[in-house]
Amino acid sequence: MKKYTRVSLKLITFGLWRISAGLAERVNLDSINCATESIITRDVAVIGGGSSGTYAAIRLRDIGQSVVVVERNDRLGGHTHTYTDPVTKGKIDIGVEIWQDWDIVRNFFSRFKISLTKNEFAPSAVQYVDYRTGQLVSQYSPGNATDALTAYATQLAKYPYLEFGFDLPNPVPTDLLLPFGDFVEKYALDDTVPTIFKYAQGLGNILHQPTLYVMKNFGLVDLKSIQEGFLTTAKHDNSEIYERALAELGDNALLNTSIVATKRSITGYSSITVTTPCGRREIRAKKILLAIPPKLDNLDGFDLDATEKSLFQQFGNSAYYTGVLRYTGINDNTTVQNIGINTTYHLPVLPGIYSISPSVIPGLLNVKYGSPTALADVQVQSDIIASVQRLPNRTISVESPEFAIFASHTPFELTVSSSAIESGFYKRLYAMQGKRSTYYTGAAFHTQDSSLLWRFTEQLLPLIVEK
């Protein structure tokens, strides 16, 4: 098969993050996570039990540290979220689906005895529709992106440090500050736009985003993995690793738990007051690892100093929503992708659906929806339903679409303005590592990619442990 054909096939389906089902062996989650100690004393308190926080907690234990994880949801995994169909018991990953084929990823999965396989993007017929009107755009084709992606790769190669974090040079290269739309024009990368838009889902209007964020979300590692294949779990149940991590952490993982107050110390133990389903608890920790989106409204109760406040308040965010729909009337083998009939590069207008695509369970379809800013869940749900009802040639017109599951993954990408980036925002942000016994990981400190975040987190561990 020619390189282009192989690449384009994968690219066409890439942003759809299609999945297949597997029957998962479940750990018993009952009767754990109720810390019996009223004062919990640990080496490290990890705040946020998503991808980065769970990885950090397990690895810190591996190197002899005691930990406690504070997670506000009723599960670990964060943006990794798996729907179980009550009828077939089949699984649909509605969040994180794929990993880079790296040792760090293989090792972490093998630690929990979970098998990985190369991800296959099953081909499906693609219909292009402008969901605003339901108009089918049969003459549209995303074109051949291969040459343009090669040119894009040449640009990416100028900034190898982007694969490791936000350790930007001073001055920050001006191309990274350009709105991505201007960058595309400058380097004639027009043909990459549909592909990048599909891949870098959740970023909102990519043409307005500083090029820095687009490059971090669709970088050289992704281009390489598109060629060589991503990994996914053999059972196609990505939540399993977090369930096993939860079983291992036991009552060191406090679920459904919120921070009430923190009092950080630079020399001794910091104190964190939390409310758990079993009552209020006091955590005493030598170090705190924050693995949550560091927006001010998400840091209620934290004893933030002026520097922390001034940095975190600069973050804006995009919004990303997912779900599984039934009774859509869309053929099980068809992806219905949103495009703009009269927009620049035919990008769909957001807020709006990215695509509705098949799952391995007949009659259930994945939906992905994006917005440049956060919306109420109910608004997103009704827009999705109305958009489906506008579709032409639905096979079942009498039934109304409904959600089998809906999830908001918001706030998603945390961004600051180009002028903030230019004036050293990330230098100041990174300078906070270790200050006030507090360390930071998670997407805001690197990128929306679990493999890259695990690597970033792994490199942070010696710093947390050594001091």
Ligand X SMILES: Cc1cc2nc3c(=O)[nH]c(=O)nc-3n(C[C@H](O)[C@H](O)[C@H](O)COP(=O)(O)OP(=O)(O)OC[C@H]3O[C@@H](n4cnc5c(N)ncnc54)[C@H](O)[C@@H]3O)c2cc1C
Q: Which residues bind ligand X (CB under 6 A)?
A: 17, 47-53, 70-73, 78-80, 95-99, 202, 259, 291-292, 298, 320, 322, 409, 412, 442-443, 448-451, 453
Q: Toward ligand X, which CB reaches closer, 79 or 286?
A: 79
Sign of the Cα torsion 38, 241, 164, 102 reads positive
CB 347 to ligand X: min, Å: 19
Give the nearest distance from C-beta 185 to ligand X in angstroms.
28
As measured in angstroms, the least distance from the Cβ of 72 to ligand X is: 4
Q: Which is nearer to ligand X, 288 or 330 (CB)?
A: 288
Query: Would you say 69 or 178 has its CB closer to ligand X?
Result: 69
Spatial CB neighbours of 449, under 8 Å, sequence gap ≥ 6: 100, 217, 221, 222
> In the bound complex, what is the minimum distance in angstroms from residue 444's beta carbon to ligand X?
7
Q: How far is the CB of 201 from ligand X (least distance, A)?
A: 7
**291 or 429: CB nearest ligand X:** 291
The minimum distance between CB 175 and ligand X, in angstroms, equals: 25
- State the minimum distance, in angstroms, from the CB of residue 50 to ligand X: 2
Nearer to ligand X, 61 or 390 (CB): 61
Nearest distance from C-beta of residue 272 to ligand X, angstroms: 11
Query: Quick one: 328 or 447, whose CB is closer to ligand X?
Result: 447
Q: At its nearest, how many Å lie between ligand X and the CB of residue 137?
A: 25
CB-CB contact of 49 with 69 (8 Å): yes
SS (H, E, C) the chain: CCHHHHHHHHHHHHCCCCCCCCCCCCCCCCCCCCCCCCEEEEEEEEECCCHHHHHHHHHHHHCCCCEEEECCCCCCCCCCCEEECCCCCCEEECCCCCECCCHHHHHHHHHCCCCEEECCCCCCEEEEEECCCCEECCCCCCCCCHHHHHHHHHHHCCCHHHHCCCCCCCCCCHHHHCEHHHHHHHCCCHHHHHHHHHHCCCCCCCCCCEHHHHHHHCCHHHHHHHHHCCEEECCCCCCHHHHHHHHHHHHHEECCCEEEEEECCCCCCEEEEEEECCEEEEEEEEEEEECCCCCHHHCCCCCCCHHHHHHHCCCEECEEEEEEEECCCCCCCEEEEECCCCCHHHCCCCCEEEEEEECCCCCEEEEEEEECCCCCHHHHHHHHHHHHHCCCCCCCCCCCCEEEEEEECCCCCEECCHHHHHCCHHHHHHCCCCHHHEEECCHHHCCCCHHHHHHHHHHHHHHHHHC
d(Cα 118, Cα 387) in Å, to the nearest integer? 33
Q: Considering the complex, state which of residue 149 and residue 259 has its C-beta at the smaller distance from ligand X.
A: 259
Residue 20 or 148: which CB sits closer to ligand X? 20
Residue with the CB atom nearest ligand X in the bound state: 50
Minimum CB distance to ligand X smaller for 78 or for 181: 78
- C-beta closer to ligand X: residue 84 or 181: 84
Shortest distance in whole angstroms from residue 217 CB to ligand X: 9
